[in-house]
């Protein structure tokens, strides 16, 4: 099939994309976080096409994207007060809430779970597409399963050209890492994935937050995970990624002494001069962590090439959006972290 490329500025784009969704085909849509691979979330056959295109494990449920907060009541029940408060404060925006699912949500969409994840994305064209399609749009990140997420239309075409009906090109995504996921179905709110809405922001509203263990450690692939997607190998380029911790100087000394040709260095812009001759790639500025989240996946994609040996990566410290960057980079590195200040 020929994949249509629709500009998000095109006056006809929302109606064309909505028609494709209504017809049960796939459209990649821009959001503030990453591009999603969208389909009618109430149509099991359309949802099956998402799993097929991504090579996604069947036990990994999808997020339903809604055009406005009030729509969550169509697909969820027993909604706690906290969900309304979070929606009021952070939607449209990079927050996904896991809530008890109504029966109208097909089991295929939620991978058989009694719950469903919902989110209202902060992208006006995409919300218009959802509104015109008249259904909630199920959309995982548009990457092939296991690979770094897609933050431009070019990334989407790289993975799916000729396999999906259309991509809506809305330029590079502003946040660059996927939404924060919070599970509100238990006694205590649980952070399943850090993202653009920070743990600090959630705490301020909820007053309580359990951080799921999948956020901070590798979960066995046969284990039962709260967010099934968190247990799979993820975000990884073909090369082995190793995070090198420690001060700028100690990390540079360690990397320079272990570097061999065909290795690469993924570092902060401020560190580029320390790695001359080591083929460094910057993904943003350490002093402005939003540039790191915005640049991370494009950089990991650039490093996804068979000729590369090892990737030595630098990871920001601290909370806020840096916490989400740490989570993605640690997963890309399968939690391999070297601290030269301890090793030497």
Q: Contact, 86 vs 182, CB < 8 A?
A: yes
- The footprint of ligand TXA on residues 141-170 (CB under 6 A) is 141
Using CB under 5 A, which of the segments 104-112, 133-141, 198-206, 299-307 binds Mg ion? 133-141
How many residues sit close enough to Mg ion to count as binding (CB under 5 A)? 1
Using CB under 6 A, which of the segments 6-14, 138-146, 252-260, 336-344 binds ligand TXA? 138-146
x/- binding map, residues 137-166, to Mg ion, per CB under 5 A?
A: ----x-------------------------
Cα 163 from chain centroid? Answer: 21
Q: Find, among 159, 142, 160, the residue nearest to 151 by Cα.
A: 142
62 binds ligand TXA (CB under 6 A): yes
- Residue 96's binding partner out of ligand TXA, Mg ion, none, with CB under 5 to 8 Å set by partner kind: ligand TXA
227, 228, 229, 231 alpha-carbon torsion, rounded to 10°: 100
- Smallest separation, CB 173 to ligand TXA (Å): 9
Using CB under 6 A, which of the segments 19-27, 161-169, 225-233, 306-314 binds ligand TXA? 225-233
- Residue 64's binding partner out of ligand TXA, Mg ion, none, with CB under 5 to 8 Å set by partner kind: none
Give percent helix, percent strand, percent coil of the chain, each to the nearest 5.
35, 20, 45
Q: Tell whether omega for the bond before 92 is within 30 degrees of 0, i.e. cis.
A: yes
Greatest CA separation found in the chain?
61
63 binds ligand TXA (CB under 6 A): yes
x/- binding map, residues 175-194, to ligand TXA, per CB under 6 A?
A: ---xx-x----------x--
Residue 191 pairs in a beta bridge with 182, 211
228, 284, 316, 340: which one contacts ligand TXA (CB under 6 A)?
Answer: 228
Task: Give CA–CA dist 40/80, Å, rounded.
Answer: 26
Task: Give CA–CA dist 52/173, Å, rounded.
Answer: 25
- Residue 63's binding partner out of Mg ion, ligand TXA, none, with CB under 5 to 8 Å set by partner kind: ligand TXA
- Smallest separation, CB 122 to Mg ion (Å): 18
227, 292, 308, 333: which one contacts ligand TXA (CB under 6 A)?
Answer: 227
Task: Give CA–CA dist 257/274, Å, rounded.
Answer: 12
- Residue 147's binding partner out of Mg ion, ligand TXA, none, with CB under 5 to 8 Å set by partner kind: none
**Residue 57 to residues 51, 85, 233, 262, 298, Cα–Cα distance (Å):** 7, 33, 12, 32, 24
Using CB under 6 A, which of the segments 6-14, 117-125, 129-137, 323-331 binds ligand TXA? 117-125
Q: Which residues contact 250 (CB under 8 A, 6 or more apart)?
A: 340, 341, 344
Q: Which residues contact 95 (CB under 8 A, 6 or more apart)?
A: 86, 119, 179, 180, 182, 195, 196, 197
43, 60, 126, 327: which one contacts ligand TXA (CB under 6 A)?
Answer: 60
- Smallest separation, CB 309 to ligand TXA (Å): 28
Residue (109 or 141) nearer to Mg ion, CB: 141
- The footprint of ligand TXA on residues 251-290 (CB under 6 A) is none
Q: How far apart are the first and last CA of the chain?
A: 55
Q: Which residues contact 184 (CB under 8 A, 6 or more apart)?
A: 80, 82, 83, 86, 97, 98, 99
- Smallest separation, CB 234 to Mg ion (Å): 7
Structure tokens at 333: 């590195």
- The footprint of ligand TXA on residues 18-37 (CB under 6 A) is 31, 33-34, 36
Residue 108, number of CB atoms within 10 A of its CB: 21
Residue ranges in contact with Mg ion by CB under 5 A? 141
Where does this chain bind ligand TXA (CB under 6 A)? 31, 33-34, 36, 60-63, 96, 98, 110, 113, 115-117, 119, 121, 139-141, 178-179, 181, 192, 226-230
């Amino acid at each position: 099939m020929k994949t249509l490329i629709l500009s998000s500025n095109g006056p006809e784009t929302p109606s064309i994309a909505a028609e494709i969704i209504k017809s049960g085909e796939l459209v990649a849509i821009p959001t503030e976080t990453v591009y999603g691979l969208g389909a009618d979330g109430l149509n099991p056959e359309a949802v099956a096409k998402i799993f097929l295109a991504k090579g996604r494990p069947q036990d990994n449920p999808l997020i339903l994207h809604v055009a406005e907060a009030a729509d969550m009541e169509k697909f969820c029940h027993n909604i706690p007060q906290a969900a309304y408060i979070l929606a009021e404060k952070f939607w449209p925006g990079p927050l996904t809430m896991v809530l008890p699912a109504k029966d109208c949500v097909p089991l295929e969409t939620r991978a058989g779970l009694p719950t469903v994840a919902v989110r209202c994305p902060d992208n006006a064209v995409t919300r218009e597409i959802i509104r015109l399609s008249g259904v909630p749009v199920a959309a995982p990140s548009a990457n092939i399963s296991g690979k770094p997420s897609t933050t431009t239309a070019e990334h989407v075409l790289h993975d799916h050209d000729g396999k999906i009906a259309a991509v809506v090109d809305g330029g590079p995504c502003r946040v660059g890492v996927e939404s924060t996921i919070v599970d509100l179905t238990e006694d205590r709110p649980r952070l399943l994935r850090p993202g653009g809405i920070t743990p600090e922001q959630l705490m301020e509203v909820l007053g309580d937050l359990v951080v799921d263990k999948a956020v901070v450690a590798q979960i066995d692939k046969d284990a039962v995970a709260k967010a099934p997607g968190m247990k799979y190998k993820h975000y990884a380029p073909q090369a082995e990624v190793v995070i090198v911790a420690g001060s700028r100087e100690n990390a540079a000394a360690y990397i320079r002494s272990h570097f061999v040709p065909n290795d690469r260095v993924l570092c902060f812009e401020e560190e580029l001069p320390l790695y001359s001759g080591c083929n460094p790639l910057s993904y943003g500025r350490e002093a402005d962590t939003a540039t790191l989240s915005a640049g991370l996946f494009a950089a990991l994609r650039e490093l996804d090439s068979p000729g590369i040996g090892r990737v030595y990566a630098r990871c920001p410290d601290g909370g806020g959006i840096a916490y989400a960057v740490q989570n993605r980079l640690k997963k890309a590195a399968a939690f391999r972290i070297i601290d030269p200040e301890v090793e030497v």
